[in-house]
Structure 1
Amino acid sequence: MNIPYSPYSETLQLAARSAIERAEAIVELVRTAGFQSIENLSAQFGVTPQTIRRDVNSLCDRGLLRRRHGGVDVPNNGENLAYTMRQVLHIDAKRSIARRVAHEVPENASLFFGIGTTPEQCALALAEHSQLRVMTNNINVAVALSSNPHCEITLAGGRIRNLDQDVVGSEAHSFFGRFSADIGIYGVAGVAEDGTLLDFSSDEVHMRTELTNHCRQRFLVLDHSKFGRSATVRGGHITDASVVFTNKPIAQELENQLHEAGVRLIICSDPLLPRNFRRSG
């Protein structure tokens, strides 16, 4: 059935997109600059205080921000956001990264997948690749790829973190060490100014370290919000990767470190290149 064009439907779509983009920008501003008053946010975004209150009330109800008198702040640094909230935050950036990762992964590859929402998006983008062999502790990745009958999946055993849908307990610590993979795809909670990688628990760092130690290429996937984001446990460095995929240019100092270490940096707004093309360095 053909639905007739209506300027009102187009206006509603633009308004909805504007609201989503404003909500993401509010979260990013608060996480970067700290506490923001309702009045300041209203001035920053050129909308009424009532509109901003609706935005921040929704964001607080979803766990993305925390209410404080007269405004909003970030949740406690020692806690990550709920997984369902992280799945929708910066989703366009994560999908852009995932499409580029899928372009870089050949058919018939063996892959490690780490935890997190960006690796999950990479798995969704790879769901039609043929003859993949996948080892992961990320249940959402396993589900995303299980629709492909030609994908062999091995899932880590152990205690499941119910809310995050992954396995990171001590029973799983030796999992990645039992295999050798062509490519490891992993994310992090944050990247410090000096390039140190950050996560929210020692278990997460241990699993990520094991993953990167047992694959031939290491694909670090992270959207722009992870740069400068705080988390409590240090482990590894951005230059440990073979390739870093993100969606916006990064700080020049970090880019210089990657260049000196021979690590490829792919900004995923770049046009796709032929699959057999590889940049020098």
Structure 2
Amino acid sequence: MSKHERWNTLLELLASTGRLEVDEAASALAVSPATIRRDLDELAEQRLLVRTRGGAVPQGVSYELPLRYKSSRHASEKQRIAAAVAGLVHEGEVVGLNGGTTTTEVARALALRFGTGRAETHGASPAPALTVVTNALNIAGELAVRPQIKIVVSGGVARPQTYELVGPLAAGVLDEVVLDVAVLGVDGVDPELGVMAHHEDEAAISRLFAEHASRVVVVTDSSKMGRRAFARICGLDRVDVLVTDAAIPAESMRHLTDAGVKVITV
């Protein structure tokens, strides 16, 4: 197991248990306690956790893994979800993407579908095969090299955990655009409260994506079903389609369909 893989595993264990003990982590990863101590020290230097006597605890009250360390979680499910979402998007449409690991996979799937080949031309200027509006710096970076895809990036203040731009500058841009479809990654889906995010500033921007779109597609793995987060994005009445993996609980499926949401499982 490489150092990067160990760090991913350690951070995921910390996120799920709320505390790490060196000996237990060493046993779980089949490495020496000395290796775990070095890993925890390095992660503490990056402010990803706080070292304690004999282990580590999360950094801050509300613990959130940075995007680069979350990308390996439920990876195959997210890639299947992304491929299904790309099939819902039509050439020439304007697509809004918020930040997150699942929407990053959606961006990659859209790039595969629309980012190659020759775009139609009108006069001297090529028409984009797709226009993507995003507040996520990593998504913009991946798609910017695709000449067939037009990228519009909101302004705003960057959140290092998710690479999302938030705040009044981001809202100002989104208030001026019209989207055919908004694809939203979320942190929770509740039958009463709708879809949610951990942070109110990210939820506010995601809400604007939903308000300015003709269609709203929520993308999430089944682990988010029935889970609540701090900030509400919108109710289920605003969601047209939810794409998730086949492990979605039957009760969650029933709540969504009763609310008029089309559920696609992959």
TM range, smaller chain: 0.7 to 0.9
Quick one: which of 154, 157, 160 aligns to 1:160? Answer: 157
Quick one: which of 136, 145, 148 aligns to 1:147? Answer: 145
Deviation string, structure 1 residues 98-136 (Cα, Å, up to 9, x no partner): 222223323222211112232122111111334112222
Change (3 A) 1:61 1:132: same
- How far residue 208 of structure 1 moved from its aligned partner, in angstroms, is 0.8
With normalisation by structure 1, the TM-score equals: 0.69
Quick one: which of 208, 213, 216 aligns to 2:214? Answer: 216
CA distance in 1, matches of 2:69, 2:248: 24
- How far residue 190 of structure 1 moved from its aligned partner, in angstroms, is 3.6
Q: Quick check: 1:103 aligned with 2:87?
A: yes
Q: Quick check: 1:128 aligned with 2:112?
A: yes
Change (3 A) 1:39 1:80: closer
Q: Contact (CA 8 Å) 1:62, 1:85: kept in 2 or not?
A: no
CA RMSD of aligned residues (A): 3.7
Deviation string, structure 1 residues 160-195 (Cα, Å, up to 9, x no partner): 316344321212214333232221111123445855
Q: Quick check: 1:246 aligned with 2:249?
A: no
Runs of 5+ unmatched residues, structure 1:
1-14, 271-281
With normalisation by structure 2, the TM-score equals: 0.72
Aligned amino acid, residue 202 of structure 2: E
Aligned amino acid, residue 135 of structure 1: V
Quick one: which of 152, 172, 175 aligns to 2:173? Answer: 175
Change (3 A) 1:77 1:99: farther
**253-262 or 83-92: bigger deviation:** 83-92
**123-132 or 235-244: bigger deviation:** 235-244
Deviation string, structure 1 residues 189-241 (Cα, Å, up to 9, x no partner): 34458554332433212111111112122111223454576753333245642
Aligned amino acid, residue 241 of structure 2: V
Q: Contact (CA 8 Å) 1:201, 1:232: kept in 2 or not?
A: yes
State how many pairs are aligned: 250
Matched ranges for 1:176-215 at <5 A: 176-191=174-189, 196-215=194-213
Change (3 A) 1:46 1:25: closer
- How far residue 61 of structure 1 moved from its aligned partner, in angstroms, is 6.8
Q: Contact (CA 8 Å) 1:192, 1:229: kept in 2 or not?
A: yes
Change (3 A) 1:76 1:53: same
Q: Contact (CA 8 Å) 2:8, 2:70: kept in 1 or not?
A: no
Identity %: 26
